Structure 1
Amino acid sequence: MDTELLKTFLEVHRCRHFGKAAENLYLTQSAVSFRIRQLESQLGVSLFTRHRNNIQLTGAGERLLPHAEAMLLSWQRAKQDIALASHQSVQLAISASTNIWDPFLQRRLPLIYRSLGQVALRADTAPQDVLVRSLLERRLDMALLFDPPKVEELEVKEVGSLKLELVSSKPGQNLHSALNGPYVKVDWGTQFSIQHAKQLKEQAPPLLHTGIGRIALDFILDHGGSAFLPQGLTQEGIDNGSLYAVEGAPQLNRELYGAYLKDADRLNLVEHVCQLLLTPSDNLQ
């Protein structure tokens, strides 16, 4: 199967919009539509439903999603391993969910790169189930997760946390008005959902529910509303006056965990990275 078709499928799923996917892939919208039709033709199923620009995965698309992510992850690892073989370099593959990459891992990647010297890095994003499977199949050296997997073969260490603050596109919002106005709920993992349910009981149903923090951020900036987001995503908006902290809102913390095989091939390097990830944000350059 053409991996470009899978890349296009994943990008359309991420953006929920053919035009935005085309921009991100540096293609025309017609080219993106053609690739999706090709993939659907090869599989003999429809992958997306399209109703007034509301693009959603079909049942078949949902089933393809983890396979597409795993296939691309394996293909990228294979290409890089082959390319590195002639230089006899060591490669370390680190992956995280999108919600961990944006506010946490992205800022620490330069520190990891500088510390590891000649080690080549590969960084990707994927859902938790794909990450755990990739670890067990030795296609990944280390995964950053919100919820620690209870798998006997894996070592799990806490490597940091995210401070999630309720922000709004409107100034002067209190907790009640923010939660009962246009509110976007982001899935920050199981413990966040428990904290959210305990501390925020007087809440109307969310206008939007998403698993990606950046989708929530873009939505409230474009259409108004509020959401719990980490400082790494909101600081620019607060500085320029497009976002405001909600008065009286609790701060909800999410611990982050590094997971890797107990008998990992590059165990010393992985444990070193765990220590680097503990570096406070204020000490990053």
Structure 2
Amino acid sequence: MDSELLRTFLEVSHTKHFGKAAENLYLTQAAVSTRIRQLESQLGVQLFTRLRNNIRLTPAGEKLRPLANANLTLVQRIRQEVAIANNQSQQISIGATPNLWDAFLQHELSQLFGQFPGIAMRAEAHTATTLARQLLERTLDIAITFDAPKIDEVSTEEIVQVPLFLASSHNTDSWQEAMANHYVMVDWGTAFNVQHAQQFTGAPPAVLQTNTGRIALDFLLTNGGSAFLPESLLTPYIELGQLHIVENTPSISRSVYASYITESDRLDSFKKVIEAIKGEQPVPAESLTPTEDA
């Protein structure tokens, strides 16, 4: 049975909302609905009762949920065993939010391949909520997020600090002036949102809200504007004079955490990978670095 259909089913059963499930899975709501219909058609049963603002599992859906979790765990085990048979000592899956892949993890992934040639890697981008659930489902080994999941079975370590600076396409030392010019609000996690609201009271509404720094960066370079972005993303564009850090504006530093299941027979391998990432200077994804003739 298609594991993606089961993963979609579990997401809808958790959120009880097709729209929220679609957001967490980076799919359209129509795609989520189609997957659920496909799964129901394959099984010949209805999995959800669909009333307005009230989605519930049917008895068949309740029966499927633990089986779906077990299936996804088995898929992960199969991947692990196949990796071993393919002359790889083991496979480790790393998941993070898109922001963290862009800010430094994409670069770190390349470094990990060099440091651990015997380990096959799998990289995934999801919301923090989805990553935490995948840890519990044992379909993900290491989750890297801004907001550490508070789950009994999960251990968490701080691995790096990512400073965020207000950058603008216009050279100004006033955050009010910078934010008045096409301000893009990037969701850098709960702590950032709280600190932002406290420090920048009276800020004009953002013209764009996004949970991805890559989208904000492209918007600033194309349309002009301002946004809080990591220094690792900003530096090459500051050197080219395309963006400017707004002086006299406090930076907001975010802690980044690595989380993993405490009771795992591969705990030593997880810790070695995390230790290799820990404390490294953030370097952006190669695709976000301007070329010499840009």
| Structure-1-length-normalised TM-score | 0.72
Query: Which whole-Å CA distance do the structure 2 matches of 1:235 and 1:79 have between them?
Result: 42
Runs of at least 5 residues in structure 1 that lack an aligned partner in the other structure: 17-35, 45-58, 61-69
Tell me: CA distance 1:148–1:41, structure 2 relative to 1, closer, same or farther (3 Å). Answer: closer
Number of aligned pairs?
A: 240
Query: Which whole-Å CA distance do the structure 1 matches of 2:239 and 2:268 have between them?
Result: 40
Query: Which whole-Å CA distance do the structure 1 matches of 2:247 and 2:158 have between them?
Result: 30
**Pairing 1:86–2:70 present:** no
Tell me: CA distance 1:15–1:205, structure 2 relative to 1, closer, same or farther (3 Å). Answer: farther
Query: Which whole-Å CA distance do the structure 2 matches of 1:115 and 1:105 have between them?
Result: 15
- Following superposition, the deviation at residue 237 of structure 1 comes to 1.5
Partner of 1:221: 221
Give the conservation status (yes or no) of the 8 Å contact 1:175–1:249: yes
Runs of at least 5 residues in structure 2 that lack an aligned partner in the other structure: 8-21, 38-51, 54-68, 285-294
Pairs within 5 Å for 1:179-194: 179-194=179-194
- Following superposition, the deviation at residue 137 of structure 1 comes to 1.0
What amino acid maps onto 1:206 in structure 2?
A: A
Tell me: CA distance 1:3–1:249, structure 2 relative to 1, closer, same or farther (3 Å). Answer: same
* Structure 1, 214-223 or 234-243: larger mean CA deviation: 234-243
Give the conservation status (yes or no) of the 8 Å contact 1:141–1:264: no
Query: Which whole-Å CA distance do the structure 1 matches of 2:94 and 2:133 have between them?
Result: 14
Give the conservation status (yes or no) of the 8 Å contact 1:169–1:226: yes
**Pairing 1:270–2:270 present:** yes
Partner of 1:256: 256
Partner of 1:30: none
Helix, strand or coil: the match of 1:152? Answer: coil
- Following superposition, the deviation at residue 189 of structure 1 comes to 0.4
- Following superposition, the deviation at residue 280 of structure 1 comes to 2.9
- Map Cα deviations across residues 90-113 of structure 1 (whole Å, 9 max, x no partner): 001111000111112112123322
Query: Which whole-Å CA distance do the structure 2 matches of 1:214 and 1:91 have between them?
Result: 28
Q: Which has the larger radius of gyration?
A: 2
Q: Percent identity among equivalent residues? A: 34
Q: Please report the RMSD computed on the Cα atoms of aligned residues, expressed in angstroms.
A: 3.6
- Following superposition, the deviation at residue 239 of structure 1 comes to 1.9
Partner of 2:167: 167
- Following superposition, the deviation at residue 86 of structure 1 comes to 2.4
Pairs within 5 Å for 1:4-83: 80-81=79-80, 83=82
| Structure-2-length-normalised TM-score | 0.70
